[in-house]
Structure 1
């Protein structure tokens, strides 16, 4: 009886430890640019709403300002999501902070600002997890190093936080991912696959990616059961983009994918 009790207690402890790691979940619900289906993308309101909707991660697209500050913005221009114009790397952080980042979505969000990465990490590190995309390494050559410093400053790269799955980094740029892997090989990395490169996902290529990547990111319209199966056989997770509703998420779950970016998490 004592042995049975001990085994039961050990099982409970092990299950508790596993449940503390979000990566142990069968399917990850990733808030695409925050809850961008119902709030202006990459704003605190969008992130807050995603957390309320119990998303496992908030996604952060990174761009870099003229004064080498990382901000959350999908486009390399500010035109679409603010009342400003021009390239992010032609503007200082203070200039970008003066822009309206909400009115393009709805006038009731006119006071929303473009958030700096360091602000996001500080505000949300105890509330959620971060799924970060590095963009345009050709025009932001020091982005990876600055990103690592910002993460380290909030202790998000500690062994404890990495084991809890606090941070995932994705990119279409293998150069960026390899650079990050060289800086810290314990960060889960997702290699985003362009639609035109889907046909290149041979077993040999998947095996090669598995040498540094945790998984691959694929357009939901291009993913197939065969891709998912072969990725899994090579030890890779499969995350899909971009979903809009529960039905699309259910379809992906049935296909066996491991997570999905959702505009309405």
Structure 2
């Protein structure tokens, strides 16, 4: 069985990350999962922004947590013609049947555990906080923070979770393991030892895609959904991953 493709911030190699256009393109390219990062605005709204500050991805400057939703909406994001930050609720509305949304809560942040509480409340309003089973859930919650994962497990025990990790060891919690591709390159036995499905990020190099398939990674997060699917379905020669 081929790994499932999760579009990292949308088809972000082709279009600006965390824009509806990038997510719509990812779906058109065949992604069966969409990944986003969420932060809280100053007035408590969940918005899809990776960085602590808006400087890199918008026309403005400053920390997301110090700006209201109205102020974030005045900015242009990723060179878009129309201003407006992507709300998590808009992404939930875009989600078609059979496609999962992988939501990463960012930490450390100004508002601490409030982001998980707000997230679970939003999912509950959409009828997504209590899926029939974790395998049937339309949403997966991820974090590099063990405290965040435990908060989600406490607030919404039916939601599947991922404990993200880089090279450093992390607590063995969460329903899926979430290593970086650098971790798998350094330790190819990781997947076998994980004892649970593995979500690997962020995989763009064809050799890395093939490595994930060979090791049995179940979910591949990539900026290039179309290209990654071509590698998985095709006969691209295996080469050493680029460093």
User: Normalized against structure 2, the TM-score is what?
Assistant: 0.85
Residue 118 of structure 1: which of 75, 79, 89 is its match?
Answer: 89
Q: 1:260 aligns with which of 220, 226, 241?
A: 220
Instruction: Report if the CA contact (8 A) 1:237-1:257 is conserved.
Output: yes
Task: Tell me by how many angstroms 1:36 deviates.
Answer: 0.3
Extract unaligned runs of 5+ from structure 2: 226-243
CA distance in 2, matches of 1:191, 1:162: 15
3-state secondary structure, aligned to 2:183: coil
1:56 shift after superposition: 1.3
Residue among 68, 73, 76 paired with 1:92? 68
Alignment check: 8 A CA contact 2:128 2:137 kept: no
Does residue 1:62 correspond to 2:38, yes or no?
Answer: yes
Q: Deviations over 1:86-118 (max 9, x none)?
A: 000110001101111021xxxxx3336321112
CA shift, 1:133, in A, is: 0.2
Is 1:184 aligned to residue 156 of structure 2? yes
CA shift at 1:137, angstroms? 4.5
Gap runs ≥5 in structure 1: 1-24, 104-108
Give distance in 1, aligned partners of 2:91 and 2:72: 16
1:251 maps to which residue? 211
Normalised by the length of structure 1, the TM-score is 0.78
Structure 1 vs Structure 2 CA RMSD: 1.9
Partner of 2:241: none
1:215-230 residue pairs with structure 2 within 5 A? 215-223=176-184, 224-230=187-193
- Structure 1's consecutive aligned runs of 4 or more residues displaced over 6 angstroms after TM superposition are none
Structure-2 residue corresponding to 1:133: 104
Paired positions, count: 222
- In the alignment, what sits opposite 2:235? none
Bigger radius of gyration: 1
Q: C-alpha displacement at 1:165, in angstroms?
A: 3.0
Please say if 1:34 is aligned against 2:10: yes
How many angstroms apart in 2 are the aligned matches of 1:259 and 1:114? 27
Does the aligned pair in 1 maintain the 2:192–2:215 contact within 8 Å? no
| Counterpart Cα distance in 2 of 1:82 and 1:57 | 25
Quote the residue 1:241 is aligned against: 201
Alpha-carbon distance in structure 2 between the residues aligned to 1:249 and 1:135: 26
In the alignment, is the contact (CA less than 8 A) between 1:137 and 1:176 conserved in 2? no
Q: CA deviation at 1:140?
A: 2.3
Cα offset, 1:184, TM superposition = 1.6
